[in-house]
Structures are given as C-alpha cells and as structure tokens.
C-alpha cells in the first residue's frame, strides 16, 4: 500500500508543487507495484482548496483536472483519508478516489461559486454520481460545506473514523475492488420536481450572480451525458469564468477580508486574554452584543438602570437564545451553558474584574457621558471602555475619562450576534494597546474588523446618510420610494433604502436628522418628506403599521398618503416631477455613495478603499458579487465618474460636491484600488 501525504502548510492548499507531487506519487506507487494507494493530508487539514497566490496568475501545468483524471483511472484502488478540511480541489481529489473515509471533524464542500467560478477538476460531474442531482445542486450551487456525518448520510463518503489513515489501511482490498470509480458510474435518477425545486432555490438566492447558475447547469449535465463530455464542458466553463468581472470582484473581497483580519497584528497583542465583559443596556442591541460575547466564551454581565429594565434585558437575551435553539444553531446543553455565562445586575457597585465594558444605550450624548462617568467609579482603571454609538463623536465621549487611551468605539451592527462587521473607531487618544484588544475581540467574535476615524456616522452610516439623501432628492424630483427600492434590489442590494427604514423605524433616522439640524444647514439640500411622515402622520415604519409603506396584515403596500406627500413637497419646492428609469436611480444613488466614500478616504477616516468595500458589504447589504462600493467604482472608471459628477454638480452644486480625489484619480487615470498614501 502506498501512503501519499499532502504537506503544504498551513492548510495544504493546492499549487503547482502539490499537483506535480501527486503525479509523481502515482508514478512511484505504480512502479513499486503497490496494490492500493491512500491519499491524506499533513496536520489538521486535508486540502483546503487552491492556493490563493495562484488566483490571479494564468493556470500552470499540470492542471488539476488532468491530474485527477489520471488519479480516477489508476488501475489500483485508491482511498482518500480525509483528516480535516476538504474544500474545492480538496474534495475533488477525494471524489477522484474510489473510497472515501473522513474524520468526525472533517468539513467537505465545493465553495467555488463564492469566488465567482465553478469547480474545475471534476466536482460538478463526480459529485452528482456520488450523491444524486438534488444534493449536488445544493452543495455546488450554494458552495456550502457539510460535516462528515452529513457527508456519510448522503453517500459522499463511505465511512467516518477517528483515525482515517489507520482505517484506510485496514480496508479489505476485496471490498475496495467491488466499488466502482465514480467515472464509471451513472448519475442516480432523481425526482424531477425535487431537482427543479433545488434549481429554483439556487437561482432565487443568487440573483445577479453568474457562477451559481452555470454550476447548476453543469451538475444537470452530469445526468445526461458521458463523464468525458461533462468534464470538458466543466473545464471550459471554469476557464471562462476565471477571468470574469464577477470572479475578480469575489477575489477582491476574499483578499480584503483576509487583510482586514491580519491588520490586528499592527497593534500590540493583549497582555491577557479577555474573559469578562460588562454590557451597559440590555435592549435589543445590548442583549445581542451580550449573546455574541458569551458565545465566544466570555462571562458577561448586563447592567441596567432598574429591576424592570433588567427583567426586560433578561427576556431579550432569552429570546435570542431560544431563536438559536429553535433554528438548530444551539443544542439544549449549549444554550444552557451560554445562558449561564450571562448575568444581570442593577446596582452600580464596585466590580473588581471587568476586562471590557461596552455601552449600548440609545444615541444621546448626555446619557452616554453619564454612563461612562458612573462606570469610571465602579470599574478598575485597567478596564477597556467602549461605546457602541452609531454616529456620536467618540472624542467628545472620551473627553472626561481619565486615561482616554483605554477608550474606543466598537460599532456593532444589528443584529449584533449575526452581522459580521465591527467598526473599530479610533479616537484621538485611543492607544495602540486598546486597538490591539479591539482586534482581538473581533477575532474572538469571528467578525470582520474595519478601523475607522472619528466623524459623524464613521464610515458606514456616513455613506448611508448620503445614500438616503440622494434617494430623497429623487423622491422630490419624481421617483417613488417603491421604484427606488425596486431599483436597488435589482442592483443587488439586500433591501431598498425605504423598506430598510421601515424595518429599523423612521423615528431613529428622524432623531438623527434633528441632532444634525438639517433644516437649517446650508451645505445640504433639505427634503422635508421623511420628517413630515413622522411629525404630521406618526408613521414610524413596521412597528406602527405605517411608514413609507402601508402594512395591511403585515404585508407592505404602496401608500396613497406617501404619494400625496411627495407630490405636495415637489409642488412646494417648485420642482416638476418626472419619470426615472431604474438604471437612472441606480446611477444617481451609487455616484452619491462613491463621492462620499471618496471623501472619507481623502480625509483619512478610512485607511484603504477595500475597508470601505467591506463596511458596505457586511453592514449594509451591498452585493458581494460587485466587490464592494469602490471596487464597483473602479469598474466604471475615474474619468467617467468625474464626468458624470460634473454634470450633476452643474445642476445641483449643493447636493453634488466633487471630492478633489476624484479629479486627481481621473487626471492620472488611476483607480481607488491603486491609491497610495502620496496620492491621498
């Protein structure tokens, strides 16, 4: 028996050396007259897919599809001992083997569609021959990974063993010889209706994306053609998509996310592990933050003002726990253990050990300052103090705190236990050590950290405000909220701006506009429609069953009241209403957001364009397949952006100021991704 071990740390990613090594190993095994061959991985991973360093390089021989075609046709039985993660090309290696055994902790999947491509080495053709069309469509179309237990249940693997290599060595050769290679097997027949439903699910959930539909078509092809034909079509599709705009966008996001996490190494590592946390405020946000902290292993105390508020905080935390349990995300035991890590208190007594305290009260400067004044009195002077403010000035909040170096903004996004983004807001006095703690916390919470400077709304909410302003001006000029929402969903946004406001509550945005005193500012074109909805009609969104939409039985419907308000506001402003195409709406809103993002970059609020991309994707539903806001801007081109901004600014200079950086990029024909510190 020949034992072949893939050894390319840290995750045994497939590169040219690995491909050459597999070919050489096959030659050695056959030359040595081995009766069987086992392939496994060194360390905790089997093979975690392609080497990221080769993503943007031309394909290099030997190609993995050719390597695996040879592996699949070897005259001796082959066993894949999956000792850990088997993703992408890793699972394709396993599928080219005759027998597959995995460790209980192994994770298996074909995530290529999440990078804008399809499997390119047999995944779409061999997987359906192992598990059938329906399961293959789900796995390939969504790019999701499954555990060994599920892989065994659906027939993807033959066995689960604590020591896959030892198990492989013990497999009877007679048993192996009776198992046909997948290349010689037909695709199992599947119920047509079930297959069609699986296809429709993938298409619906991947709207706007190219790769998932192409991947599903390839899987379906496996049920109607010889494997050689299917493999050839798969390879051609893989090469076609590899250089596509969407694949470039997905790769951009992939590297941006890796870079965001690694930037924590720019700051000192915490001197001690975070173990205890205090969350001030147990509303929906505070309870969700507490849940996220407890899920990462911290002991959490939720501090409230009185017994009634504390009881409501307990109910909020319990509700989130129950949701996790009912959705199968937590076992009963895990839910009980998590609940045990969350405690509640009311009295502001001295606390001897608290590593980090996070304020999660409503957006009021005086309230938040009072909270921190009380925390200073009861917490050790080593406790990191953090605010979850969405808009307020972090420097002002820190102004009365002794040792303001320990103060930082941690802007969670709702729901905090689900949303992956964490804006880390660095104040003027925030120390590198405190930022190191913030990044360590983000890592523990498995969130994508983005560092922001101090300004109103930081990165995300500042761009959101500009987005809403541009949309409101469109309302004044003739569009409706319903057309704008439709346009933005068609663009790929998770929700339109007005349905999103109805969900969060119109009173929240109203309070923020009041704080900013928009009515009296001369640098903003004030549109009164949203304020009138709240002030004159008490329309607060879904919670009042009326906002931008009417809610009849909970279902949104276009509102005659809102349409009348739009027409009246246009008449008062002496604006003649006109029709807008969906593409016009998309262009106007995107250019407004790009302009604001450019200013944020120019001012140093964000350090890199990809940070802005991550904020918009993970916090605001910007389509991942477009690569983020400024990556999308680069696909338009700086010269075209400048020309269109100049047209809009000539019509409405107050609403369309042009950031200097746009002109500099256009004059040098540069892109946001190519910005260096000297350009900024």
Residue 54 has pLDDT above 90, yes or no: no
In a shared domain, residues 446 and 480: no
Nearest to 302 by CA among 342, 351, 362: 342
Does one domain contain both 427 and 521? no
Tell me the average pLDDT of the chain: 95
613 lies in a domain? Answer: no
Q: Is the residue at 625 inside a domain?
A: no
What's the distance, CA 341 to chain centroid?
A: 27
Q: Do 226 and 321 share a domain, yes or no?
A: no
Last residue of a domain, one of 228, 243, 258: 243
3-state DSSP of 235-261: HHHHHHHHCCHHHHHHHHHHHHHHHHH
Predicted confidence (pLDDT) at residue 482 exceeds the cutoff of 90: yes
45-47 and 85-87 beta bridge pairing: parallel
- Which domain covers residue 406, as residue numbers? 268-452
The structure tokens listed for 519 are 């009515």
State mean pLDDT over 483-512. Answer: 95
pLDDT digits (tens, 9 = 90+) for 68-78: 999 999 999 99
Give the pLDDT score at 188. 82
CA distances (Å), 414 to each of 58, 390, 457, 618, in order?
41, 11, 15, 11
Q: What is the CATH number of the domain that holds 574?
A: 1.10.1040.50
Residues 441 and 491 in one domain: no
Q: Is the same domain home to 309 and 441?
A: yes
CB distance 476 to 654 below 8 Å = no
Specify the pLDDT at position 679.
37
Per-residue model confidence as pLDDT tens digits over 312-356: 999 999 999 999 999 989 999 999 999 999 999 997 778 888 999
pLDDT tens readout for residues 166-216: 999 999 988 898 899 999 998 888 889 999 999 999 999 999 999 999 999
Domain end call among 210, 243, 276: 243
- Indicate whether 25 and 115 sit together in one domain: yes
Written as six digits, the tokens of 641 are: 């952006």
The verdict on 503 and 600 lying in the same domain is yes
Tell me if 88 sits within 8 A of 184, measured CB to CB: no
Tell if the pTM clears 0.85, that is, is over it. Answer: yes
Residue at 263 is within a domain: no
State how many domains the chain has.
Answer: 3
- Grade residue 624 by pLDDT with cuts at 50, 70 and 90: very high
Which of residues 452, 477, 510 is at a domain's end?
452
Phi, psi (rounded to 5 degrees) for 275: -125, -30
Tokens of 281: 């405020």
Asked if 599 and 504 touch (Cβ cutoff 8 Å), the reply is no
- Does some domain include residue 256? no
Give the model's confidence band at 524: pLDDT under 50 very low, under 70 low, under 90 confident, else very high.
Answer: confident
pLDDT at 399: 95
For residue 93, tell me if it sits in a domain: yes
Q: Give the containing element (helix H, strand E) for 212.
A: helix 211-221
Catalytic residue among 92, 138, 304, 596: 92
Q: Is 484 in the same domain as 468?
A: yes
Catalytic residue among 24, 54, 61, 112: 112
552 is catalytic: no
| 477 assigned to active site | no
Under the banding of pLDDT at 50, 70 and 90, the label for residue 678 is very low
Which of 19-28, 94-103, 340-349, 487-496 bottoms out in mean pLDDT, i.e. has the lowest? Answer: 340-349
On whether residue 610 sits in a domain, the answer given is no
> Rounded to whole angstroms, how far apart are CA atoms 339 and 412?
21
Q: What CATH number corresponds to the domain at position 376?
A: 3.40.50.720
Closest C-alpha among 447, 450, 428, 424 to residue 437: 424
Residues 398 and 505 both lie in one domain: no
Same domain as 650, residue 503 = yes
Output the pLDDT for position 676.
Answer: 43
Q: How many CB atoms lie within 10 A of CB 496?
A: 25
Report if residue 624 sits inside a domain: no
Are residues 210 and 316 located together in one domain of the fold?
no
The Cα–Cα gap between 219 and 230 comes to 9
> Domain of 84: which CATH number?
3.90.226.10
Same domain, 238 and 308: no
pLDDT band (50, 70, 90) for residue 393 = very high
pLDDT at residue 286 above 90?
Answer: yes
What are phi and psi for residue 222, nearest 5 degrees? -60, -25
């Amino acid at each position: 028996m020949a034992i072949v071990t893939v050894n390319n740390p840290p995750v045994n990613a497939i590169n040219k050396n690995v491909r050459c090594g597999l070919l050489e190993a096959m030659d050695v095994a056959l030359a040595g007259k081995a009766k069987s061959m086992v392939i496994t991985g060194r360390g905790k991973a089997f093979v975690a897919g392609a080497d990221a360093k080769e993503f943007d390089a031309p394909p290099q021989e030997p190609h993995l599809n050719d390597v695996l075609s040879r592996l699949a046709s070897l005259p001796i039985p082959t066993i894949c001992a999956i000792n850990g993660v088997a993703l992408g090309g890793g699972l394709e290696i396993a599928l080219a083997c005759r027998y597959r055994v995995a460790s209980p902790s192994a994770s298996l999947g074909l995530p290529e569609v999440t990078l804008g491509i399809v499997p390119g080495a047999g995944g779409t053709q061999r997987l359906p021959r192992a598990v059938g069309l329906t399961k293959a469509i789900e796995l390939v179309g969504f790019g999701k990974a499954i555990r060994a237990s599920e892989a065994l249940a659906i027939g993807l693997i033959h066995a689960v063993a604590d020591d896959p290599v030892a198990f492989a060595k013990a497999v009877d050769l007679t048993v192996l010889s009776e198992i046909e290679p997948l290349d010689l097997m037909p695709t199992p027949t599947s119920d047509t209706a079930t297959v069609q439903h699986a296809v429709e699910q993938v298409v619906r959930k991947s709207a706007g994306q190219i790769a998932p539909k192409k991947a599903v078509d390839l899987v379906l092809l496996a049920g109607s053609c010889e494997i050689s034909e299917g493999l050839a079509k798969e390879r051609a599709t893989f090469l076609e998509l590899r250089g596509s705009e969407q694949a470039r966008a997905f790769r951009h996001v992939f590297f941006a996310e890796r870079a965001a996490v690694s930037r924590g190494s720019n700051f000192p590592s915490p001197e001690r592990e975070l173990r205890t946390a205090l969350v001030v405020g147990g509303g929906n946000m505070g309870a969700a933050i507490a849940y996220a902290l407890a899920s990462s292993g911290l002991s959490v105390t939720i501090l409230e003002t009185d017994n009634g508020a504390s009881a409501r905080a307990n109910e909020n935390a319990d509700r989130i726990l129950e949701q996790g349990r009912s959705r199968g995300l937590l076992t009963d035991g895990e839910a009980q253990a998590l609940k045990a890590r969350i405690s509640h208190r009311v009295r502001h007594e001295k606390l001897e050990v608290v590593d980090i305290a996070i304020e999660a009260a409503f957006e009021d400067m005086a309230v938040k300052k009072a909270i921190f004044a009380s925390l200073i009195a009861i917490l050790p002077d080593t406790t990191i103090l953090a605010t979850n403010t969405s808009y307020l000035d972090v420097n002002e909040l820190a102004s009365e705190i002794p040792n303001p170096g320990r103060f930082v903004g941690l802007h969670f996004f709702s729901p905090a236990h689900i949303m992956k983004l964490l804006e880390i807001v660095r104040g003027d006095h925030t120390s590198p050590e405190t930022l190191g703690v913030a990044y360590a916390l983000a890592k523990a919470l498995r969130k994508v950290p983005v560092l922001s400077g101090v300004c109103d709304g930081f990165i995300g909410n500042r761009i959101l405000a500009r987005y809403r302003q541009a949309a409101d001006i469109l309302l004044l000029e003739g569009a409706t909220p319903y057309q704008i929402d439709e346009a933005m969903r068609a663009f790929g946004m998770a929700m339109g701006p007005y349905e999103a406001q109805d969900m969060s509550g119109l009173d929240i945005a109203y309070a923020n506009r009041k704080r900013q005193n928009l009515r009296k500012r001369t640098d903003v074109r004030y549109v009164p429609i949203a304020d009138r909805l709240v002030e004159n009609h008490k329309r607060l969104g879904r919670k009042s069953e009326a906002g931008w939409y009417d809610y009849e039985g909970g279902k949104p419907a276009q509102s005659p009241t809102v349409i009348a308000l739009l027409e009246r506001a246009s008449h008062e402003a002496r604006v003649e209403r006109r029709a807008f195409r969906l593409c016009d709406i998309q262009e106007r809103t995107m250019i407004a957001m790009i302009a604001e993002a450019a200013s944020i970059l120019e001012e140093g609020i964000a350090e890199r364009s990809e940070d802005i991309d991550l904020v918009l994707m993970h916090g605001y539903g910007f389509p991942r397949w477009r690569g983020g806001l400024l990556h999308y801007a680069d696909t338009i081109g700086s010269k075209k952006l400048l020309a269109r901004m100049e047209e809009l600014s000539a019509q409405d200079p107050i609403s369309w100021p042009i950031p200097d950086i746009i002109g500099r990029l256009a004059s040098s024909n540069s892109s946001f991704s190519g910005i260096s510190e000297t350009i900024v």
